[in-house]
Structure 1
Amino acid sequence: MEGSCDYSMEGWLCVLLLLVHNAAATKMKIVEEPNSFGLNNPFLSHTNKLQPRTSPSPRSGPSHLFRLAGKCFNFIESTYKYEFCPFHNVTQHEQTYRWNAYSGILGIWQEWEIENNTFTGMWMREGDTCGAKNRQTKVLLVCGSSNKLASVSEPSTCVYSMTFKTPLVCHPHSLLVYPTLNAELRRRWDEIEQSLYDELITEQGYRKQLRKIFEEANYLKSTGSKSEDKENQTEPKTFETLEQCSVAHNELSKEIKRLKSILEKNGISYLKNESNMAIQHPAPSSPNAAREEERFHLRGDTGARDDQ
């Protein structure tokens, strides 16, 4: 009878053929094993593994955020897996089995993003090469019920933006810069705030001195003397019409009056000659008074200059 077999050798062969026939007649289910991507992909050679070009900066900023160090948070979009490791780096891994699946570094922890004297995000720079520049990522910190990498975008070529949610920044004062500074840097901040209030320095001078404080606290990377010199270089101003010259003259006259009123407000006499303008102080009555006068002059001079 068709479909029946005895228990002889021929019978066992018949059973085997029946099993093969039934397996071919039904749809086989394929079970996928967990995939290994990026650094764990055994098909990638060692030369293809991620090679950072620099080391992360030391941890800095609000100390309550240090508990995030040593942890990593993932976000999957399409075929890419993004991984954010606070105070360390940001990476991207293509989740495919292509022989040349991309895995790369989108940035290494470098410095803070500070706006209105508040920490707003973390800059991950010096990532993999992207044309003539390196990839970089700004990770914005926003309030959330749990630690979570919430979104990833690329606003411009090879410059990425991520949003990281965490309950560690939900308090309104959790990201203020001033409380995180040591006593000496807070004292210096207080001094330049007073100088700005007394109009002894300009807004530009205030921002420049405040940046130096942030750099000394390792919150911002030093811009270097070359960039500062370039910033301080100004081209001579020219005027195409007499009207432009007159407008500039009136603006300068107003500025001179403003500066003169500041000098008078602080008890500093003002001497004007036909050839130049100078600040005149009373003659010291003793050697000690002379030294005190010199100290006062130097402090006032450095506070009023934008290029110090």
Structure 2
Amino acid sequence: MAMGTSGLLLFWLLRVLIVSAGKMKIVEEPNTYGLNNPFLSQVNRLQPKIKPAAISGPAQMHRLSGKCFSMTESAYKYEFCPFHNITQHEQTFRWNAYSGILGIWQEWEIENNTFVGMWMKEGDSCGTRNRQTKVLLKCGPSHKLVQVSEPNTCIYSLRFETPLVCHPHSLLVYPNLKKELQNRWDQVEQSLYDGLITQQGYRKLLRAIFEDAGYLKTTGEKPAEQDPEEQNHSQETVGSCNEERNKLSAEVQRLKDLLTSHNISFTIPTEAPKLTEHQSPRNQQLRGDLGLRDDAH
């Protein structure tokens, strides 16, 4: 009888354990508040401070709009979405794993008539500043992020390879400008060559062209703020210069005729070739700007 009671108790105990096991939840890995939290939407995790700037720059690069490219380095995953933003996701299971924005598309970095990098700014707060990232463009067989670093606190540098920049002229600024802006650049180059403007004035005028093209953010500093005399000179066109040259040539000829009529000998220096509206002392297709940089970077 005792044996039967023990067997019955054992039966009921096993049944209770089986039912309890069916209600138990086995946690295979801890959840996180950041990257792996399914209850926190991506919108709440990544809140941009500003909207991305308009798409601009080399026409072929516009094909990358709407696409994203990622890479994982150490414990972080980086995702680059051209003309949108750059994000960083900590690949750990800590409850507060970081997942945030390292920068939002703002403007190009231009050096010597060449698009060399894309600036992503106004990312997540980092102390007293906001995170920002410069994406350097390099030739490569495929679209991919290949390197990431943090040369300064909260300022990142990413290297992006793409076949879209492999052609020698693929990143030149001048060919991507509208005809009106190309003509303005031609006039600025001619004014610099003729000594009508200083290097500082040249840089201001050139930056204004890039701002009007949407390649650089507007700083609020307009060319009209330059020296009035320099401003008047910069507005002179090649045509007006040639008109003045023609007047001087006519005066020289009059003086030559006068000297000849009085049998007075003279020597004529070699005359420099006349420039037309379609000529410039610099190469028309590979026009450069002597290395324009945004000092704010």
TM-score w.r.t. structure 2 length?
Answer: 0.64
Q: How does 1:20-169 map to 2 (within 5 A)?
A: 41-44=37-40, 48-169=44-165
- CA gap 1:165/1:45 in 2 versus in 1, 3 angstroms: closer
How many residue pairs get aligned? The number is 213
SS at match of 2:146: strand
- CA gap 1:178/1:41 in 2 versus in 1, 3 angstroms: same
User: Percent identity, aligned pairs only?
Assistant: 69
RMSD: 3.4
Shift of 1:119: 0.2
Aligned residue number for residue 254 of structure 2: none
Taking the aligned partners of 1:36 and 1:128, their CA distance within structure 2 comes to 20
Taking the aligned partners of 1:78 and 1:268, their CA distance within structure 2 comes to 71
Structure of higher RCO (CA pairs closer than 8 Å, 6+ residues apart): 2
SS at match of 1:224: coil
Query: 8 Å contact 1:39–1:50 — kept in the other structure?
Result: no
1:180 to 166, 176, 180: 176
Query: 8 Å contact 1:56–1:87 — kept in the other structure?
Result: yes
Q: Which runs of 5+ in 2 are unaligned?
A: 1-6, 15-27, 228-243, 249-297
Taking the aligned partners of 1:40 and 1:183, their CA distance within structure 2 comes to 50
- CA gap 1:131/1:147 in 2 versus in 1, 3 angstroms: same
Shift of 1:63: 1.0
Taking the aligned partners of 1:221 and 1:124, their CA distance within structure 2 comes to 12
Query: 8 Å contact 1:137–1:162 — kept in the other structure?
Result: yes
Q: What per-residue deviation string (whole Å, max 9, x for no partner) do you get for residues 65-111 of structure 1?
A: 11111111111111111110000000000111111110110000000
Q: How does 1:215-294 map to 2 (within 5 A)?
A: 215-225=211-221
Shift of 1:154: 0.3
Letter in 2 for 1:53: K
- CA gap 1:68/1:187 in 2 versus in 1, 3 angstroms: same
Shift of 1:225: 3.7
2:185 to 189, 199, 203: 189
